[in-house]
A = this chain, B = another copy of it.
Amino acid sequence: MTMSLALIAPGAMGAAIARRLTDHGADVMTTLAGRSAGSIERARRAGMRDVDLAQLMHADLLLSVVPPAEAESLARQLAPLMAASEAPPIYCDLNAVSPATLARVERIVHASGAAFVDGGIIGPPPSDRAMPRIYVAGERASSLARLNDLGLDVRVLEGGIGSASALKMCFAGINKGMTALTTLMLIAAGRSGAGGALRAELEHSLPEVVDRIDNGIPDMLPKAWRWHPEMREIADFLDTTAPDGENMAGRHAFEGFAALYEQLGDSARNQEMKRLLDSLIEPSPAKA
């Protein structure tokens, strides 16, 4: 039987996931009313079928792959339709949201009578060269394992609702936090006349950090404005995860990273920093 999916996914990640699914014979529905020309073109190329919201209720699974700020409003918009449906799709939220937001989405979906699955995507959009891991958690999470037959890499976690989102936050915290830390110290070294020496020392003793300087920082700079609120989400996550009285370590660290990315994302404030970074980054030949 052809599997039927509803995918609310205006961006690059969602379209690339849809493309994998349709290439493997799945029926992927979406709703394009009110979407941008870019989203409509992406959906068309991915082989997605444009339907109205009510028809999405015929899907087996509904995947939400939207900007974090839209995760909750999407659930609210679909709730009456799920409530009116005899067999609403299993609702899987794959967005990078904090535990508090996730809990609100879960409550809305449960109240509508649909089953809820927590999810998180780690890695770049599917392509010839890359395949992200899609982590899912919750009682009905194993329903998503069927997507492994449709060209995706889905991994079911045992930790219950919240563990997939937490995994996504922890991975992003390490990866984007390490880039923030490297950027901070490289700028401080540059301001102290020790930038070139720091780079040479890292080449000797921590070569993976040099890779972060030459590839991670140039990749981050145009996204810093977007990473800034994500660092605040991680600060909230760490705060609520830690016992009372022990929560300042994570909150402080990620508020520091948020401040750095906020500044790097602001062209009126980032010029001295960008100049210093430019002088210490050696783009790899393939990307130069």
Interface residues of A (CB under 8 A from B): 99, 122-123, 133, 135, 155, 157-160, 162-164, 166-167, 169-171, 173-175, 177-178, 180-182, 184-186, 188-189, 191-194, 197-198, 201-202, 204-206, 208-209, 237-238, 241-243, 246, 248-257, 259-260, 263, 269, 272
Whether the pair B263, A249 counts as a contact (CB closer than 8 A) is yes
A49 to B103, CA, bound (A): 68
13 new A-B contacts, CB < 8 A, other than A157-B193, A178-B209, A252-B255, are: A133-B204, A135-B197, A157-B194, A159-B192, A159-B197, A162-B192, A163-B194, A167-B198, A173-B185, A174-B202, A174-B206, A252-B259, A253-B257
Contact of A123 among B159, B193, B205 (CB under 8 A): B205
A243 to B254, CA, bound (A): 20
CB distance from A255 to the nearest CB of B (A): 5
CB distance from A66 to the nearest CB of B (A): 22
Whether the pair A252, B256 counts as a contact (CB closer than 8 A) is yes
A178 to B164, CA, bound (A): 23
| A168 nearest in chain B by CB position | B194
Contact of A208 among B169, B184, B208, B257 (CB under 8 A): B208
CB distance from A124 to the nearest CB of B (A): 10
Whether the pair A249, B241 counts as a contact (CB closer than 8 A) is no
A260 to B252, CA, bound (A): 10
Whether the pair B188, A163 counts as a contact (CB closer than 8 A) is no
Whether the pair B250, A188 counts as a contact (CB closer than 8 A) is yes
CB distance from A195 to the nearest CB of B (A): 9
With a cutoff of 8 Å between Cβ atoms, the chain B residues found around residue A194 in the complex are: 157, 159, 163-164, 166-167, 170
| A171 nearest in chain B by CB position | B201
Whether the pair B188, A158 counts as a contact (CB closer than 8 A) is no
With a cutoff of 8 Å between Cβ atoms, the chain B residues found around residue A249 in the complex are: 184, 256-257, 259-260, 263
| A177 nearest in chain B by CB position | B181
Whether the pair B253, A180 counts as a contact (CB closer than 8 A) is yes
